[in-house]
Structure 1
Amino acid sequence: MAAAAPATKSPPKRRVRAVLSWLHLWTGLTAGLVFALASLAGTVLVFHVDLLKLQHPQLAQHAPVADGRVLAQLIERWRPEGLRSLDLPREELPVWQAYFEDGHRQYFAPEDGALLLYRSHHDDVLLWLHEWHVDLLGGKTGREVWGVIGWISVAMILIGLYLWWPRSGRYLAQLKVHAGPPVRRWLTWHRSAGVILLPLLLLATVTGVGMVYSKGFQKALTAAFGGSNVKAPELPANDAPIDWTQAIAQARIAIPGARLARVSVPDPDEGAVSFRLQAQGEWHPVGRSTVVLSRDGRVVQAFDATAHEAGMRMSQAFYPLHVGAVGGAAMKWMTAFVGLLPMFLLVTGFLFWRRRRGKR
Structure 2
Amino acid sequence: MKLLDSLHRWTGGLIGLLLAILGLTGAVLVHKNAWTLAPHSNDPRVEDVRQLAATTQRLMADPATRPQTITYASDDFGLLRLAFQNGKGAYADQSGTLVTQWNSQWERPEIWLFDLHHHLFSGDAGETVIGIAALCGLFFVVTGFLLWWRTRKTFEWRLLPARMSRPAVVRHHRDLGVVIAPLLLLSLVTGAVLVFRPMAALLFGPGAPAQIDRALAAPPPRDARLAERLDWEQMILTAHARFPDAELRSLSLPRKDNGIITVRMRRPQEWLPNGRTTLWFAADSGVLLAARDADRLPMAVKGYNLLYPLHAAKVGGLPFKLIMTISGLAMALLGTLAVWTFWFKRPRRAARQSPTPNAVPSRRQAR
> Normalization by structure 2: what TM-score?
0.77
Give the counterpart letter for 1:204 in structure 2.
Answer: S
Compute the displacement of 1:312 (Å).
1.7
Residue 186 (1) aligns with residue 169 (2)? yes
In the alignment, the residues of structure 2 paired with residue 217 and residue 302 of structure 1 have an alpha-carbon distance, to the nearest angstrom, of 27
Residue number in structure 1 paired with 2:215 = 229
Structure 1 residues 166-315: aligned runs within 5 Å: 166=150, 173=153, 175-177=155-157, 185-214=168-197, 216-217=198-199, 221=204, 223-225=206-208, 226-227=211-212, 228-233=214-219, 237=224, 239=227, 241-266=229-254, 272-293=260-281, 299-315=288-304
How far the C-alpha of 1:359 sits from its partner, in A, is 9.5
- The one-letter code of the counterpart of 1:197 is I
Whether contact under 8 Å (1:278, 1:287) holds in the other structure is: yes
CA contact (8 A) 2:60 2:232 kept: no
* Corresponding residue of 1:67: 52
Task: Say whether 1:357 aligns with 2:347.
Answer: yes
CA displacement 1:249-295 (0-9 Å, x = unmatched): 2212312422111112258x987543111112211111111123467
Paired amino acid for 1:255: F
Q: For 2:243 and 2:111, locate their aligned partners in 1 and report how far apart those are by CA, in whole Å.
A: 32
Q: Distance in 1 between matches of 2:89 and 2:181?
A: 36
Distance 1:236 1:121 in 2: 32
Question: CA deviation digits over 1:168-192, x for unaligned, max 9?
Answer: xx96x35433786856543332112
User: Residue in 2 aligned with 1:149?
Assistant: 133
8 Å contact kept, 2:19–2:335: no
- Is contact 1:109-1:116 (8 Å) kept? no
Aligned 8 A contact 1:289 1:303 in 2: yes
After superposition, the Cα gap between the structure-2 partners of 1:200 and 1:115, relative to the gap in structure 1 and judged at 3 Å, is same
Q: 1:212 to 1:339 in 2, by over 3 A?
A: same
- 1:102 aligns to 2:95 (yes or no): no
Distance 1:106 1:325 in 2: 23
Contact 2:59 2:66 in 1 (8 A): no
Structure 2 residue 309 is matched with structure 1 residue 327? no
Q: Kindly tell me: are residues 96 and 198 of structure 1, through their superposed partners in 2, closer, same or farther at Cα, counting changes over 3 Å?
A: same
SS at match of 1:91: coil
**1:143–1:90: structure 2 CA closer, same or farther, 3 Å change rule?**
closer
Residue 278 of structure 2: SS of its match in structure 1? strand
Q: Deviations over 1:57-110 (max 9, x none)?
A: 343357636432332232233x55683211123332222211234344311232
What one-letter code is carried by the residue in structure 1 that aligns with 2:247?
Answer: R
Change (3 A) 1:252 1:184: same
> Which residue of the partner structure matches residue 6 of structure 1?
none
Write the letter of the residue equivalent to 1:324. A
What percent identity do the matched residue pairs reach?
25
The whole-number CA distance in structure 1 between the counterparts of 2:177 and 2:201 is 31
- The SS at the match of 2:70 is strand
Change over 3 Å in CA distance of 1:23–1:277 after alignment to 2: same
Q: Are residues 96 and 355 of structure 1, via their aligned partners in 2, closer, same or farther at CA, if it must alter by over 3 Å?
A: closer
**Cα displacement (A) at 1:316:** 2.4
Q: 1:13 maps to what in 2?
A: none
**Aligned partner of 2:113 among 129, 132, 154:** 129
Contact 2:272 2:306 in 1 (8 A): yes
Identify if the C-alpha distance between structure 1 residues 310 and 270 changes in structure 2 by more than 3 Å, giving closer, same or farther.
closer
Structure scoring higher RCO (CA < 8 A, sep ≥ 6) equals 2
**Is 1:62–1:110's contact at 8 Å kept on the other side of the alignment?**
no
> Is the CA contact (8 Å cut-off) linking 2:157 and 2:176 kept in structure 1?
no
Contact between 2:20 and 2:331, CA under 8 Å: does it hold in 1?
yes
For 2:215 and 2:41, locate their aligned partners in 1 and report how far apart those are by CA, in whole Å: 35
- 2:6 is equivalent to residue 32 of structure 1: no
Taking a change above 3 Å as real, the CA distance of residues 224 and 236 of structure 1, as seen in their structure-2 partners, is: closer
Which one is further off, 175-184 or 284-293? 175-184
